[in-house]
Chain A
Amino acid sequence: MLALALLAPAVVILVTFIAYPFVMAIWFSLTSIRVGDPGHFVGLANFTKAWEDSIFQTAFKNTVFYTFWATVFKLTLGMWLALLLNRHFRFKRIVRASMLLPFIIPTVLSAFAWRWMFDPTFSVVNWLLYHTGFIANRLPFLSNGDWAMWCAILVNTWRGMPFFAITLLAGLQTINPDLHEAAALDGANAWNRFWHVTWPLLLPVTLVVVVFSVIQTFSDFQLIYVLTGGGPANSTHLVATYAYQLGVGTGLLGEGAAISLFMFPVLFAVVWIQLKYLKRIEAA
């Protein structure tokens, strides 16, 4: 009885904030619900429509591209930063704390700041490059589809890298320094020490961080919404922003829900594979 009572608050929270919205999203996706109109059951029609929708196809490809590259950059740069911060230097704590700033600032605010920096007419970056003689014409940061996507990846990397760095740094600090010392005595150079000592021991933490990051990046919304609005010509639309545009903007709640649910199997598969791999490593 006591166990049930202790579990009850957690169950209520889970049901209210996770299970109920999820079940409702599934129900919406199976109906023709529009804003102000409850609609009727349409089976998988919304999923079929989305699958054939060229904007959705673009958004889905964009999401995979955006998630892949942002995660690669965040992992690489985050690891590099963590290794640097793991050394002893003056003001170590201040530097470590300040590094978290991009992660702490609300995404909407930082995305607005970046949008100003990439402004098609008044970009400070363009101004600097032009006045220092590096460019003769403005760079099309947000006004060219490819550039806009890479700019979005850059901002996502800037924002997410501290999370990688701090988490990996915590992992690095659990590695016994004796192992590095022994490897060094055996003649291992810096790269070999990293590859044969640090990396294997850090792998479980790395996998967890990557799982979190993939989930967050794949379902990213705020950054794109503020930075590009999905433009130009849908070249930066992600699944989440398109689902929002359709469901909340246009009021096609059923279609919006179906599109957002396309994220679920992908994320589920990613999480499942990574966790299974993690289990295998831990067992080994």
Chain B
Amino acid sequence: MKRRTFVKASAAAGLQGILASRMAPAFAQGTALAWIRWNDFVPASDQLLRSKIIPEAQKALGVRVTLETVNGNDLQPRATSAIQSGSGPDIFCLLNNWAQLYADSTVDVSDVAEKLAKEQGGVYPTNSSVSKVGSRWIGMPWATVGLLIAYRKSWLAEVGYSTFPDTWEKYLDAGKKLKAKGHPIGQTLGHTFGDAPAFWYPYLWSWGGREVDEKGKVVLDSKATVDSVRFMTGFWKDAHDEGGLAWDDTNNNRAFLSGEIAATLNGASIYIESLRKPEQYKTDKGGPMKDDIAHAALPKGPAGQFSYHVPFTNTVMKYSKNAKAAKEFLTWVHSKPVYEQWFVSQKGFSVAPFKDWEKHPMWAEDPIMTPFKTATSTGRMMGYAGPPDKRAAEVISKYIITDMYAKAVQGMKPEEAVKSADGELRKIYGQA
């Protein structure tokens, strides 16, 4: 399917009418909206929003949108202060399941979300699970950053892996050899919002560990969890860059691009950056690093292979005096001709929340990015096997799962680390 056909076939008639008439809907004339998002790991996308999409919004809707971008770790504090003071950005683009924490303070966007989901092929469970409370949409799913392992093909091949290791044992074996050659695996075990939960939660699940069972009972303290922690203590020492204990979400990008590490779980931003500056990022043999990068899913453990991808949700705040305009803006920005511009600028770093976008011709342009196309459909969310609700959000905000592994690799006995984390979970879930 060609891009033009894709857009033509799916563009909403109402939106086309607005665009064609070049007249803004009367209700929104002169309205100002403030939209806050993270600093995108694909800076071109923020640039596109500022220079093109937002000015287009003013023409199409008569809405003057101000975009503010901040470090992802600063979004939660901003949301808390805005809600408590009753003033702040009209729309918050929140990560993970943070929207659940603010569910009582967000405008119901069910009408917009249901309509768009229907028009665009249905929504992925990853997105709906964090954007809904019961049947109410507390936010409009914006996108999901798919997280896969980015690795150096040549270095893995040098240690005997022409394809990426598909089990943790094989990954350990490869990692040991890579570390001996000075190119360890790089993974954050620090207090950070993206790469840390995206690695440690699926790692836990792959061993059969989980926070709660289907009935909501805390079951973290299990043999499976202890096994996962025990395996990691050796894996960390033998195969990882141990500096990862102090990494945030940017450290692994820098370490990979500077040739310090051989593999890391990340969004596609490493590869996209290497594409953007092929002259700057070279391999040790002098070739462009982009040609030596591939992506793979996390290896599987005794209980299977899992993944966690970071969903983004636009929430319209109840204190906003322009909630109606905000919903209109979200409808407009999600319309295919508009959203497509942003989606393409991401080059696959973000996956759309609706399934139709899997068919987008962009995915055929670069086979290295193909694994991201359907990554979201395999993801689980935090709080598994329960819902990713407020309690799960509290667990992730306190970094309890990440710190369980961090404590063990620093010397705490695996059983103690698991017991301690389980105790914290029980307090949060009211089962102490």
A residues touching B (Cβ–Cβ < 8 Å)? 34-37, 49, 52-55, 119-122, 138, 140-145, 148, 228-235, 244-253
Contact = CB atoms under 8 A, between A and B. Distances in A.
A228 B73 CA distance: 13
Given A49-B427, A142-B245, A250-B101, 19 more contacts: A35-B79, A35-B83, A35-B105, A36-B103, A36-B105, A37-B104, A52-B427, A55-B424, A120-B251, A121-B243, A143-B246, A231-B399, A233-B407, A244-B77, A248-B80, A249-B76, A249-B397, A250-B397, A253-B84
Contact of B81 (A145, A228, A248): A248
Interface residues of B, number: 44
A229 to B, nearest CB: 4
Q: Which 6 residue pairs of A and B lie closest in terms of their CB atoms, listed nearest first? A: A120-B243, A36-B105, A233-B406, A142-B246, A232-B245, A143-B245
B83 A36 contact: yes
B90 interface: no
Given A53-B427, A250-B394, A251-B76, A231 B245 contact: yes
A249 B340 CA distance: 33
A121 B393 contact: no
A121 B241 contact: yes
11 contacts: A35-B80, A35-B101, A36-B84, A36-B102, A55-B398, A229-B190, A231-B190, A233-B189, A233-B403, A251-B80, A252-B394
B394 A54 contact: no
Interface of B: 73, 76-77, 79-81, 83-84, 101-105, 189-192, 241-248, 251, 254-255, 258, 260, 393-394, 397-399, 403, 406-407, 410, 420, 423-424, 427, 432
B238 to A, nearest CB: 15
Given A140-B243, A143-B245, A233-B403, A121 B84 contact: no
A49 to B, nearest CB: 7
A161 B210 CA distance: 48
A211 to B, nearest CB: 30
A249 B397 CA distance: 7
Given A140-B242, A143-B243, A143-B245, A232 B410 contact: yes
A148 B246 contact: yes
A231 B84 contact: no
Contacts of B403: 231, 233-234
Given A120-B251, A229-B190, A144 B423 contact: no
A144 B407 CA distance: 10
A140 B424 CA distance: 28
B102 A250 contact: no
Given A142-B246, A250-B394, A121 B406 contact: no
Contact of B420 (A54, A121, A122, A252): A54
